[in-house]
Amino acid sequence: MNVKKTPLHEMHVTAGAKMGEFAGYDMPLFYPLGVMKEHVHTRVQAGLFDISHMVHVLIAGPGAADLIARICPYDAAGQSVGQARYTFMLTPDAGIIDDLIVTRLGDERYLIVANAGCAAKDVTHISAASESFDAKVLLLPRGFLALQGPAAAAVLADHFDVAKMTFMSGIEPQDSWFVSRTGYTGEDGFEIAMPVPDCVEFAGKLVADERVEWIGLGARDSLRLEAGLPLYGQDLSEDITPHEAGLLWAIPKELRAGGGFIGAEALEKCIQDGRKRMRVGLLPNGRPVRGGTELQDADGHKIGLVTSGGYGPTLEAPMALALVDVEAADGPIFADLRGKQIPMNRTKPPFVPHNYKR
Amino acid sequence: MSKTYFTDEHEWLTVDGDVATVGITNHAQEQLGDLVFVELPEVGTKLEKGDDGIVVESVKAASDVYAPASGEVLEVNEALAGDASIVNAGAESDGWLYKMKLSDPSELEALMDADGYKKLID
């Protein structure tokens, strides 16, 4: 398979990035600054991320709200124009196909931002569902940047009127551009989508600001993990329900029973029967514990798996997200590292407090 | 008179008599990025060439460091337990990992010198 490049690829190489494959794209893993300093810079100033690998799908037409309400478990018709929402698509068994941000752009227009690694199956799923509705499904080619950190709003104010925007709002400042006050770091910040021909110039303007540094996928991962945000493909999959993943908060109470979305019946049954596994946050004692590591009780019986694990540069300690058996979740938890048991202390994510502009 | 050898797994060892000091190369630390944890062997461990069990961890990933030669661990770099970034700052000096007594110095013949290693990474 050919590895794809984002429109900003050459800028990363010029900036000295170490590149590596992620979700089919050759992406910057870290720049000369290094993961640790990139992470901290994002928490104290502003970090610029190339997220052009992510997918933009426009749903447009008189049936747009009904289509969204069919594929995502929330009241799309009741969503205000300009409001962005965290949601997901479910299989008929209530497994998570992908997690998404859906913004209502207009009465009959919704923008879905989806994960790169799920692009093909997402489009197939949405297109199949759309056949019953009067709505078009359009894949938008876009350059896509995230500007995250406490200085992000001041930096972006030189380019757009963002002062009135609050967390989880999205606007179209000009044709084919989209700016939302969203992100994946736990910090205040923005995601900015634009036509591909415009993005090299715009990224150049942002990174020319002395408060802004390029940030690679390495720090993107440590930032999102400190913020307790799940990553699709690690913490979320089609084998995991929103109930198990601790994401029921994203489904309105009135839709948790008797909803009309795909997966509603299975989800209702999950909630009635109770979950066998649950998402927890863990603080490993002394050393990082990586995704895929088996978790055990004191007797060495398997009770779960680490889904994401790493080191938190702001936390200054290792941290992990895991799926554990509900029955064992309140007891002692150990990670099995080549036969050695590492104690894991349970905690409630986020590991570092969020800093959103509400 | 000591001599330094390199492996194609990006380790170095400086040999003085039958004692070798072992570390990862500067190129390796550049590729790994900021290190946050180093798991060292215990003194007295008998290593066979190619054994894993030594792990260096960056923010994102854990990487095995293979034993570049066979022998017994004499000493480990205790400073790394508190600050793994010493390896980033001086992979081929202060950031050494452990010292070992070589059990089969003829294993060194298969390794590269500095010029050979430079050609490998260029």
What pLDDT is attached to residue A345?
97
Q: What is the least distance, in Å, from the CA of B3 to any CA of chain A?
A: 31
The pLDDT tens digits for B59-70 are 878 899 999 999
The pLDDT tens digits for A27-60 are 999 999 999 999 999 999 999 999 999 999 999 9
What pLDDT is attached to residue A215?
98
What pLDDT is attached to residue B59?
84
The pLDDT tens digits for A132-146 are 999 999 999 999 999
Question: Can you tell me the distance from the alpha carbon of A280 to that of A286, in angstroms, rounded to the nearest whole number?
Answer: 18
Q: Which of B37, B60, B61 sits opposite A287 (nearest CB)?
A: B37
What mean pLDDT, rounded, does chain A reach?
Answer: 97
Would the CB atoms of A310 and B59 count as touching at under 8 Å?
yes
| Reported ipTM | 0.79
Torsion of CA B88, B89, B93, B94, to 10 degrees: -100
Would the CB atoms of A39 and B60 count as touching at under 8 Å?
no
**What residue segments make up the domains of chain B, in order of their start?**
3-121
Question: Can you tell me the distance from the alpha carbon of A170 to that of A177, in angstroms, rounded to the nearest whole number?
Answer: 11
Mean of pLDDT values over A167-175: 97
- Residues whose CB is less than 8 angstroms from the CB of residue A39 and which lie 6 or more positions away in sequence, other chains included: A215, A219, A222, A223, A313, A314, B59
Tokens of B35: 């290190």
Output the CA–CA distances (angstroms, integers) from residue B110 to A293, B49, B50, B72, B119, in the order listed. Answer: 35, 12, 13, 20, 16
Mean of pLDDT values over A294-321: 97
The residue among A50, A54, A56 whose CA lies nearest residue A9 is A50
What pLDDT is attached to residue A126?
98
Would the CB atoms of A218 and B62 count as touching at under 8 Å?
no
What mean pLDDT, rounded, does chain B reach?
Answer: 94
Q: What is the least distance, in Å, from the CA of B35 to any CA of chain A?
A: 9
In the structure, what pLDDT confidence band is assigned to residue A1 with cuts at 50, 70 and 90?
low
Going through A239-290 in order, the beta strands assigned E by DSSP cover 277-284
Which pTM was predicted? 0.93
The pLDDT tens digits for A115-129 are 999 999 999 999 999
Q: What is the least distance, in Å, from the CA of A303 to any CA of chain B?
A: 23
Chosen from A311, A316, A338, A351 to mutate, greatest number of chain B CBs within 10 A: A311
Mean of pLDDT values over A318-337: 97
Which domains does chain A possess?
9-52+142-226 (3.30.1360.120), 56-139 (3.30.70.1400), 248-347 (2.40.30.110)
Asked if A309 and A291 touch (Cβ cutoff 8 Å), the reply is yes
Report the share of chain B in percent with pLDDT over 70.
Answer: 100
CATH code of the domain made up of B3-121: 2.40.50.100
